[in-house]
Chains A and B, each alone.
Chain A
Amino acid sequence: MSDDQTGRREFLARSGTFLLLTGAAGIAWDAVASGEPEKAPNYRSTDHWWAMAIDVEKCIGCGNCVRACKEENDVPREPFYFRTWVERYHVPEGDIERPEVDSPNGGYDGFPEKYRAGDGAKSFFVPKMCNHCAHSPCVQVCPVGATFESPDGVVLVDKTYCLGCRYCVQACPYGCRFIDPRTKTVDKCSLCYHRISKGLTTACCETCPTGARMLGDLKDLKDPIHDFLRTHKVQVLKPQMATGSKTYYNGLDGSVR
């Protein structure tokens, strides 16, 4: 009798373990079958947490980043859509509520001079791009899971899955998304995911002549971005929206929207 009971208990325990293990194996197999990010040698997406630091005081408005980004990421040339662009601010003295902002062709051809020195206003350039928010409004509104925050903190688009419904275009508070007229799906800055996962920097950082942009891995304690964030007083755009933006601006004026 007691032998019989032990046998039954053992049988239940064993079959339970078996079921648990096959479940775990199933999940593991899913990861293998789906083309895991670890396929790129030496790159584990969970080891990184990407961010961008932008030094407004260094930007000279040459437009190198805009041109390089278009080349690197095959962003449609005309009409003018951008994954990154540069804005010129012209702020009348003491009136940060009413800045004059222009961005001719996103800064693709630079900025033809239209202001005169000594007019009592301050002028500066602000490079803009996807802020790669940790709590992205655009990701939250996507009805099909076609846009997402990757394990390494990059907001990406699954082009094969995007319906082109434009919810995310409206949801992004920074205006960083557009519908690619060729594919009718959404497009945005991918933080040059094809480059940063191969140990290269983004095209905009690569071509910025003054080092106004700095890509950084917040999980890598040796990354110079930590030094930058420690030694500069930085701000994110629209902090009141609690987007968890990871694009940190140094020297950001209160007039910048």
Chain B
Amino acid sequence: MGGFFGHKGHLVRVAALFAAGILVFLVLQALLVPKGFGVYGHYRAGALDDNRARPLMHAGRAACVDCHADVWEVLQKGKHGPVHCEACHGPLARHAEDPSAGKAVKPDPKLLCARCHQEGVARPAKFPQVDVAGHAGGESCTSCHKAHDPLEQAAPATPEKKDAAAAVPQKGAGQ
């Protein structure tokens, strides 16, 4: 009988060691594995919400049109119809939230227009582009074109200038 208890003692000690090991593992796991890890996969489920929590910078066209429907109507009539407001006016989510904050700046036409319409070898051939310096001759784009409806003549230009503007062939007409 004494021998039996002696053997049992060995087993109990080994079992206790295993139990302690498992306990340590469980405690460490509970401490180190972040909450929600593994719910959707091998990552922390809360990371989805973290990514979603970033504040908006661009309000989106729908928000702009909510207040500025008149501008949007003009825009729709012209070639710039598909261009969203913030493409030219910059990110304005703060302004959309509180209209008195961060008003839209009027972009400098010489810089802005050329960004898209300055002639470029790599630009698609069907995209309307001009040699801005040769076409405008130092004149601001907006003295002839309205930014929101570019093909409608803005100010009554002097006759010869108007003719010159009309005579300049556009490389393409499509968007």
Tell me which of A61, A71, A160, A203 contacts B122 (CB under 8 A): A61
Question: Are A161 and B44 in contact, CB atoms less than 8 angstroms apart?
Answer: yes
- Nearest CB in chain A to that of B83: its residue: A209
Interface residues in chain B, defined as those with a beta carbon under 8 Å from any beta carbon in chain A: 34-37, 39-58, 60-61, 82-84, 86-88, 90-91, 115-116, 118-124, 127, 175
Of A150-158, A176-184, A237-245, which stretch is located at the interface?
A150-158
Interface residues in chain A, defined as those with a beta carbon under 8 Å from any beta carbon in chain B: 27, 30-31, 33-37, 39-40, 45, 57-64, 68, 71-74, 88-90, 110-111, 113, 115-117, 123-125, 145-151, 156-161, 190, 193-195, 197-198, 200-201, 203, 206-211
Question: Are A159 and B50 in contact, CB atoms less than 8 angstroms apart?
Answer: yes
Closest chain-B Cβ to A34's Cβ sits at a distance in Å of 2
Chain B contacts for A57, CB-based, 8 A: 124
Give the CA-CA distance A115 to B122 in the complex, in Å: 8
Question: Are B82 and A211 in contact, CB atoms less than 8 angstroms apart?
Answer: yes
Closest chain-B Cβ to A157's Cβ sits at a distance in Å of 8
Question: Are A71 and B49 in contact, CB atoms less than 8 angstroms apart?
Answer: no
Closest chain-B Cβ to A93's Cβ sits at a distance in Å of 14
Question: Are A145 and B87 in contact, CB atoms less than 8 angstroms apart?
Answer: no
With a 10 A CB-CB cut-off, give which of A27, A151, A161 has the most chain B CB atoms.
Answer: A161
Give the CA-CA distance A37 to B46 in the complex, in Å: 8
Question: What is the interface of chain B mostly: helix, strand, loop, or mixed?
Answer: loop
Question: Are B52 and A40 in contact, CB atoms less than 8 angstroms apart?
Answer: yes
Give the CA-CA distance A197 to B54 in the complex, in Å: 11
Give the CA-CA distance A32 to B7 in the complex, in Å: 49
- Nearest CB in chain A to that of B84: its residue: A206
Give the CA-CA distance A255 to B53 in the complex, in Å: 39
Question: Are B56 and A195 in contact, CB atoms less than 8 angstroms apart?
Answer: yes
- Nearest CB in chain B to that of A109: its residue: B115
Chain A contacts for B54, CB-based, 8 A: 73-74, 190, 193-194
Chain B contacts for A200, CB-based, 8 A: 56, 58, 60
With a 10 A CB-CB cut-off, give which of B34, B122, B124 has the most chain A CB atoms.
Answer: B122
Closest chain-B Cβ to A143's Cβ sits at a distance in Å of 11
Contacts A209-B83, A211-B82 known; A194 to B52 CB distance under 8 Å?
Answer: yes
Tell me which of B45, B115, B121 contacts A36 (CB under 8 A): B45
